[in-house]
Amino acid sequence: MGRFDETVSFKLHKDGEDKVRTVLKAVYEALEEKGYNPINQLIGYMISGDPAYITSHNNARSLICKIERDEILEVLLRNYLQEK
At 20-77, the pLDDT tens digits run 999 999 999 999 999 999 999 999 999 999 999 999 999 999 999 999 999 999 999 9
Please tell me which residue, 49 or 15, carries the higher pLDDT value: 49
Q: What is the pTM of this model?
A: 0.80
Amino acid at 75: V
Query: Is the CB of residue 69 less than 8 Å from the CB of residue 44?
Result: no
- CA gap 78, 41 in Å, rounded: 21
| Predicted confidence band of residue 6 (pLDDT cuts 50, 70, 90) | confident
- Helices 38-48 & 14-33 angle (0-180, nearest 10): 130
